[in-house]
Structure 1
Amino acid sequence: MLLLHVSDTHLGATRPGNLREREMGFYEAFNEVVDIAKISSSKPCQVKILATIAWKSGDSIILRDVSGLREFKIKGSVGREILRLPCETSIYVEGLVEGDYLEVNKYEVIYPSKLECCETDAEDVREYAFNYHMYVGRPRCFKVIRTISILSYLIRNALIFEGFTELQPPILGWKSDPGLRGASKVKVSLYGSEYELHSSLIMYKQIYASIFEKIFYFARNIRVEPAENFYTGRHLVEFTQVDVEEAFTSMQESISLAESILKKVVKEFLNNHADLLDSSRIEWLDRTFLTEKYPVITYEEAVDLLTQHGFELRRGCELPHNAEAFLGEYYGTPVWLTGFPSTARGFYYIENAEKPGYNVDWNLIVPEGHGEVLDGGCREYRVEELEKRIKSTGENPSEYQWFLDIVSKGYVKPTCGWGLGLERLVKTFHGLAHVGFATPHPRLPGVIGP
């Protein structure tokens, strides 16, 4: 049995002017669902389709419309004419659907295309960065872009269900996050003064979590990564971070929240949107993410383990990407890495009172070489300690005076939180070779497309 749901949410963002318009809009939405039901049915049925050719090879064609992608085997001489049309041609088709076969009775070209080839996807991320418009309508890229949208929706819903308030992220500010681990910031001049484009919203998170207690942003950040970070496959210059912050919580509670949110999102995606993934990815995500509680190891335990396996590491420094990749493969599930050295991180992390020199912070490392997808910690909220930490990192406290003044007046309370890299999560879902394929507008270290 095929069940399809229709409600007035199918009317989109349009606000009907009167009840008659609302009624007719609902009927149109209902008829659209009926058409989808016909196409999805295994019984022969007459159909009318308005779609765009996304891909074709031999007698197979994939049509794309607002509902997604559908592959057909074409029958009949009229249908073979469609197979000769260029990809990205929009067509209206009337015909008979039986299972995976479409026998075309008649068709009309609604909007022509001059695209010469669409059988292959971009394998070189540089090619994709400069010509993404040529590839996003093809099945693989189209599914990735849909995944971004759906994951954003599922994450938002999960956080709102937990009582979090979403805030609109700022783009411009006086001073942004200094803890960039080798990247630099973008500065702009406006009205005779210099400002920074945000590389993170860490200080804003602390301020607003102190007021609303539970907040999150879908923040668009920019970091000028060293050009060589192009080759990690994990770095973007412009990226989306789901920034979550909560007041009066602990590391254990914050990690537990992040893990439960992630598992809930993965489960809902596999239950309702698995058609966007290859079967191998479905099995891998289920086996890898929907496990019992993820293992937790400290930075020092990780260094010891990595040293035993031949890695040459400097204690007190960030772990290199290949070391993170090893940890993910070693455990075979996401693994929490906690308690980084204070010298390796930004000034805003609070120091562990029971282990001086180490932060109350954490990363989530995932297998298959995807590395870190989530970074979190508990924040320093005492103005004297903040000033000490800023100086210890070589920063000038006066550049953060606006934040220090807010902290000194008691506006900033104890908070913990985390940032989830949306594109990195999409990369993980699809098993992509480079995170540049996980965004509709790739901006890569040293490679900036249109």
Structure 2
Amino acid sequence: MQNEFERFPFKQEIQKAIQALQFNKPTEIQEKIIPDILNGTSVIGQSHTGSGKTHAYLLPLFNKIDENRQEIQLVITAPTRELAMQIHEEVKKIIQFAGMDNKWKAKLLVGGTDKKKMSEKLSQPPHIIVGTPGRILDLVTDDTISIYKADSFVIDEADLMLDLGFINDVDQLLIRSREDIQLLVFSATIPQRLEHFFRKYLENPLHVKIDNLPSPEKMEHRLIAQKHRDEADIIMDISKAIHPYLAIIFTNGKDLADKLAANLQQKGLETGIIHGGLKPRERKRVLKDIQNLRYQYIVATDLASRGIDIKGVSHVINAQLPKEEEFYIHRTGRTARAGLEGTAISLYGDDDLKLIQKLEQKGLEFTYCDVKNGSWRDAKSWNERGNRTKSSTDLDQQAWKQVKRTKKVKPGYKKKMKKQQEQIKKQLAKKTKPKRKK
């Protein structure tokens, strides 16, 4: 069977690396951007985790490396040291598989390492640097390295760069680069602030957006209506119903992550936690604990959906659904990777219906369910649940208006108020019920 990568005009060394990586058919993003990157075009790429994005830029950029030029030719930036380390591992693999260990040189430049030792190692400039923008900028401003002659510059996870406050460092690096540098930007979403940044540095770039959803035969998407219940209580019930190898529980922000992790730990679920607020040393320790299988559950923010690659995730649980479709795809893309199966379980409320509707319109199939005492139960879908008549909703509102509210709040007051509201609602329903004709 012919390898479909042979259609691209790659050098012999790159084709050799592709064979060793056991790549036979390009993914959609690789198909669309490799020819343009080979031609020197700047690219904006939007695609979800696991779409083959990293090799979509690494393979064509390696093809352009000139080992006889002893200067930095390729700069790759990532928002977190963990992601930079992962990209550097892939870079090392390509160099090894291409049989170019003695000719192509790459260096990882991230914080948490001895700057003086790093400077000594950079006395002979490498062809490729991979790192976090802050550390690369430090070394550039110290005149330890120069990136002025670099041909290509990669910004991976640009929107995460923006969220974590590193886009200004990237800006400072680009000011110190050639005006005609090939710029390759990858981002899950394109916030307005990024659009301004693109206009400053990109002229007629190729913009590719891959909307592919996770493969339905490998992924199961479950939805649980929260119905005013506590998230930690539902997740504890879920934990009795599933047997994860590793489950990531996503929240919308650091404070919510801290609160949920504390609640789950209090309830007896041994849980790790990862978010951008942790100190680098603490994050490194947690990741090591995860690799050593200390935790079965990790509470995380979106940093873990893109900024960190965690292996062996069998389940993704959304304690809160994200606000945008792309983030749902990125989160659920942490599981069902490399041909394995995976399950995504999301808690939802009325505020999430717009997102669910959009995902369903894209072809995503959800199973509506509930969980109690460790057992799954079927549940009505959001539109079936939402099919209550207007009169019923009106009665709800009228009844609540008539509920007597006490100034002193005592234990169980919510139950008493709800009971009172139900009684008033029944009385109102009797009054408004049309009389039968005799």
Same fold judged by TM-score > 0.5?
no
What is the TM-score when the length of structure 1 is the normalising length? 0.22
